[in-house]
Amino acid sequence: MTLESKNTSSTKKKKSNNFDIYLASSSPRRFEILKNLKVNFELLKCDFNEDNFSEEDPQNFVLKNTQQKCLTAQAFRQKSNLTNKPVLTADTIVSMDGKIFGKPADKDHAISMLLELSGRKHSVMTCICLGEMDSEKNSNVKMAFDVITTEVTFSNLTANECAKYWATGEPKDKAGAYGIQGYGALFVDSIKGSHSNVVGLPIQETCKILKQKNISYWLNL
């Protein structure tokens, strides 16, 4: 595991340690969303194994995976003697007909996934989890979490279009091999639900959890 500590405070607060939560994610999109929300956070960058897709229900999988990320990040924080603060983790998957589409291994894999999604409706699920470690019982992590689903319908795609999209570099680190916030938006015929959920961090639901835990963002600064 590695730690990249970046303070993203957008306002000067008279607080010890000068931040409210850790974000345990390598996703630049989640980083930017939290930054735009003016959440006062530090980046806790851990290495997680996200390749072990099982045959279980996609919603159960994304929930368990996100909670495990939270436990792993809190254990790393504790082992590294870092300040005890809540840790926010998230995981996003694409699923269709019970099959989970993760990040593509290579060009052929990406094209295969995109063609499978072509002309059909699929689900994008993101689980968000905020884990707090009890200051008195260091092994106890209390979690507040939610799983959000957005339905996305793709237009009909050709293999040539998918290959050109791969050449942009955008699909390489994204579940389902596409990003709705970039070139991949061209492939989306319609969505039903949260747009930010498809990007990787559902804004409304994340802010609900932050509000429950008295953690500041732009609306309640």
Residues marked as catalytic:
91
Residue 120, SS3 per DSSP:
coil
The angle, 0 to 180 degrees and rounded to 10, between the axes of the packed helices 107-117 and 159-167 is: 130
Both tokens of 46, joined, read: 């851990």
Question: What is the length of the chain?
Answer: 221
Tokens 């291994």 belong to 105
Please, which residues have CB within 8 angstroms of residue 39's CB and are 6 or more apart in sequence? 8, 20, 21, 210, 215, 216, 217
User: Considering only CA atoms, which of 207, 217, 200 is closest in space to residue 27?
Assistant: 200
Give the three-class secondary structure for 24.
coil
Q: Residue 137 corresponds to which amino acid? A: K
Whole-angstrom distance, CA of residue 198 vs CA of residue 202:
8
